[in-house]
Amino acid sequence: MAERRSTFLERFWLTIIVCGQVLLAPAIAFSATYFIDFGGILGERALLRVDLIPWILSGSLGYGILSLILALVVGGWMPVSVADKGGWMPVLGASRLIKDAAMVDRARTHLLTSPSGKMMQIVNREMIDGERTLLEVHGGLQMLAAPLQILLAISPLLMLKFVPSDWLIPNRLLELSMVGYLVSLALILRSFPNFAQRFVGAASTVRRFLVTVTKINWMFPVLILWLVGRIIVGFAFDLIQPDVSQWQQIALEKSIIEAFLPVNVEVPETSFLDMLVALAVLPLATFTTMAVLGGGRNDLPDWLVNTESQWEDLEDSGQLLLTDGSEIETEDEESDLQNDDDNGGSEPDYVDESEEAILVKGNKVEMLSALAKAKETTESNFYDDD
């Protein structure tokens, strides 16, 4: 087998990309949306919204970390080393059964069936069988995630649109939209591996062509997708026209930020739209990058990446057993014939006993030994009394 090329540098660059997606991308997107007030070019307002800097920095950091947590938890992320030790409970010290066989099997099964584990298998297959670089696979997965990110961004608004008004509780629209968002996120992450498995090869080729022709960097697609998602969410919000006063998102953000920052924070009135876009774009982008990081290793175990080859065809196995059985019977017949020839055609000296006869004979021997022990015990007690 040819020696595989090391992917250390690519995985190191993807680690930097994850940090940029969590920390840098939302800050740039929020700044591009609110920091420059184009209405202040010819008007009396200030061109730069300096008063929004605390909200831009704190909001981008908070949404980035929240998106990372959602991507890891809902996606079922688990390193291979953690699965080999029995899961998160033994690793975190919540259980003493570290490397317990049952818990290791359970953790491995969880990783195999989770969206993160399935994506790791897809990435590893494209890297080894498809001979693609990790950056190509990462770019293709980012392209495939784009329509799902748009769908995830508008899912809370669609839920508010089609849920009967009798079910809506005043001042609880934000909670209802978040429930719809979490359900949509779980469904999209569950279906994304099946969708990616079919089209990741073509998407990787298209992404490599776009990078070669347009020379776009890793941050540009995220920002473009953010801008497109922001426009679509704003358009959908105008169609639904919910009561802004019922969302209570402005007061919630203001109270949270002021609790950590000793400043008077100015929060935009449409900040909840940016929240929907951030929680749609960032979790899927982070999820795909973490999957490429996990599946891009050359030392992944066989139980994770070669599960299909470990299954045997039942028909072939049955035919093999029949063939082996016939060969054994033929050999037994030949040996019996040889014994008959050696004995001059007379009957063999041994008698083939059935399993029932062997069991009966064994029980008789045990009974006789038990009676002998009982007789010895009785005689010894009799002589002791005398």
Mean pLDDT of 93-111: 90
Report the pLDDT value the prediction gives residue 1, as an integer from 0 to 100.
Answer: 45
Angle between helix 271-295 and helix 219-240 axes, rounded to 10 deg: 140
Stretch among 42-46, 87-91, 175-179, 269-273 having the lowest mean pLDDT? 42-46
Pair 282, 374 in one domain: no
Residue 152 to residues 4, 116, 156, 225: CA-CA distances in angstroms?
Answer: 38, 18, 8, 13
pLDDT above 90: residue 113: yes
Q: Using CA atoms, how far apart are residues 82 and 306, in angstroms rounded to an integer?
A: 19
Within a domain: residue 313?
no
Asked if 205 and 65 sit in the same domain, the reply is yes
Tell me the CA end-to-end span of the chain in Å, nearest whole number: 86
| 71/140 same-domain check | yes
Asked if the model's pLDDT at residue 242 lies above 70, the reply is no
pLDDT band at 224 (very low <50, low <70, confident <90, very high): confident
Mean pLDDT over each residue of the chain, to the nearest integer: 76
Q: What is the pLDDT of residue 258?
A: 63
Residue 99 belongs to a domain = no
pLDDT-wise least confident of 37-41, 73-77, 100-104: 37-41
Burial class (CB in 10 A: 0-12, 13-18, 19+), 66: middle
252 and 360 assigned to the same domain: no
Say which range, 20-24, 148-152, 359-363, has the weakest mean pLDDT.
Answer: 359-363
Query: For the ranges 71-85, 100-114, 270-284, 365-379, which has the lowest average pLDDT?
Result: 365-379
Question: H or E segment at 78?
Answer: none
Domain boundary among 252, 287, 308: 308
- Indicate the range of 61-75, 125-139, 224-238, 370-384 predicted with least confidence: 370-384
pLDDT of residue 164: 74
Same domain, 162 and 13: yes
Q: Which of 106-110, 232-236, 333-337 has the lowest mean pLDDT?
A: 333-337
Mean pLDDT of the 166-188 span:
80
Least confident residue range of 145-149, 169-173, 187-191, 365-369 = 365-369
Q: Which residues of 184-217 are buried (b: 16+ CB within 10 A; e: fewer)?
A: bbeebbbebbeebeeebbebbeebbeebeeeeee
In this structure, the answer to whether residues 289 and 379 fall within a common structural domain is: no
| CA dist., res. 311 & res. 305, Å (int) | 13
Is a pLDDT exceeding 70 seen at residue 197?
A: yes
CA distance 290 to 63: 18
Which single residue is written with the structure tokens 């890891």? 72
Q: How many domains does the chain have?
A: 2
The arithmetic mean of pLDDT across residues 122-150, rounded, is 90
CA 210, 215, 219: angle at the middle one, nearest 5? 90
Range with the largest mean pLDDT of 13-27, 55-69, 107-121: 107-121
Is 106 a member of any domain? Answer: no
Lowest mean pLDDT among 95-104, 275-284, 332-341: 332-341
Q: What are phi and psi of 279, to 5 degrees?
A: -75, -5
CA distances from 66 to 34, 161, 215, 218, 326 (A): 21, 26, 31, 21, 64
Task: Specify the pTM.
Answer: 0.75
How many Å apart are CA 233 and CA 277, to the nearest integer?
7
295-333 pLDDT, tens digit each: 998 889 999 987 654 444 445 545 544 555 555 455 555
Report the pLDDT averaged over residues 143-160: 86
Q: Decide if 334 is inside a domain.
A: no
User: Per-residue pLDDT for 23 more than 80?
Assistant: yes
pLDDT of 307: 60
* pLDDT (0 to 100) of residue 75: 94
Higher pLDDT, 165 or 326: 165
Q: Which two tokens stand for residue 327?
A: 């060969």
Sign of the four-CA dihedral 233, 24, 57, 287 = positive
Q: Please check whether residue 138 lies inside any domain of the structure.
A: yes
Span 284-304, pLDDT tens digits: 999 999 999 999 988 899 999
- Residue 102 in domain: no
Q: Is residue 93 one of the residues assigned to a domain?
A: no
pLDDT for the residue numbered 312: 45
- Given a contact cutoff of 8 angstroms between Cβ atoms, the answer to whether 204 and 210 are in contact is no
Structural domain contains residue 346: no
> Rounded to an integer, what distance in angstroms lies between the CA atom of residue 153 and that of residue 228?
11
188 shares a domain with 49:
yes
Residues 227 and 371 in one domain: no
Same structural domain, 156 and 273: yes
Q: Do 303 and 358 have their domain in common?
A: no
Q: Are residues 238 and 358 in the same domain?
A: no
**By residue range, what is the domain housing residue 362?**
354-386
Q: Tell me which DSSP letter residue 346 carries.
A: P
Residue 192 is predicted with a pLDDT of: 95
Q: CA 179 to CA 385: how far, in whole Å?
A: 86
151 and 215 in a single domain? The answer is yes
